[in-house]
Amino acid sequence: MPTALFSSEFQNYDEWLPALLAHMPGLQVRRWPEINDPDDVDVLLVWSPPEEALKFPNLKLVQCLGAGVDHLVSLPIPDHVPLARLIDHSQIDGFVEYVVGAVLFYHRDFPSFRASQARATWAKRPRVLARDRRVGIMGLGEMGAPCAARLATFGFSVRGWSRSARNIAGVECFAGDAQMADFLSNLDILVCALPLTPSTEGILNTDVFARLAPNACVINVGRGGHCNEADLIEAVSSGRLGGALLDVTSVEPLPDGHPLWLQPGIEITPHIATSQSSFSAAAVAIENIRLVREGKKPLGLVDRLRQY
């Protein structure tokens, strides 16, 4: 009988199993490595799949249990087996909430007021109107585009950058390497929501920081590999940047004594910008199981030649 094999170091099987069965009663699910016949397995529900499972002869789908698939595209997934990322709209909503909150945190100068409180100083600061605050979203995919659109509704001067041209109401869109410098020029707040690929690794670096407005702030909700952390620490400690908020780091969990913990002006959250509901995420996975078993393309299909 066709079987879905579950393997993830991050998602909780005991939560996912009832969620999957609620959407497809009778679904056969096994947890790696507890399988009977590898020939029965036609779907992998995974974060990091066992490479042995990628060789099972009747695979129809590798379903990532998250939105990011940068860790999967280089694995030896057979060419005929589709790879799908999980596009859960409740997860996107949470991501937008995080990004909007982070932008407002810097827009309304909360770090300065927290520093004043530590000195027991009642110090007001002049307010900058949203229309005078230049916010840039680097990455206009399923996660970044809704952030740009929502920030535009606050009245911010919003720019967006992506590899290919996009059109978003209220957002000045830039595309490709040729337009990167214009996108970055004098931004007050830069948000990185890119996928991690060889071309985006280390993209948050000294050269990028130098193009931003003086005292600009950087928010990374993409992947830790996007940020040259040594460059970021130097930019914040020197005052070139006014601060940074990192939801992702090069090593997770961030170890004790890491320089990022110790640098004033750098805020860290433990990779929680996208918090997942197993019930709503399972609905997406089940829909993709139905689709591939009917011979159709899954939602969130990844173009592995382009990597995204």
**Catalytic site residues?**
223, 271
What is the C-alpha separation between 134 and 185, in angstroms, rounded? 10
Q: Is 82 exposed, middle or buried (0-12, 13-18, 19+ CB in 10 A)?
A: buried
Those residues with Cβ within 8 angstroms of residue 128's Cβ, 6 or more apart along the chain or in another chain: 107
The packing angle between helices 110-118 and 89-107, to 10°, is 60
Q: How far from chain centre, in Å, is Cα 197?
A: 13
Cα 230 to Cα 192, 196, 259, 268, distances in angstroms? 17, 18, 9, 15
Kindly state the DSSP code that residue 52 receives in the 8-state scheme: T
Neighbours of 298 (CB within 10 A): 23
Q: How far from chain centre, in Å, is Cα 177?
A: 21
Q: Are 207 and 240 in contact (CB under 8 A)?
A: no
| Cis status, amide bond into 253, omega within 30 of 0 | yes
Q: Sign of torsion, CA 239 242 244 245?
A: positive
What is the C-alpha separation between 237 and 87, in angstroms, rounded? 37
Q: Sign of torsion, CA 163 165 170 172?
A: positive
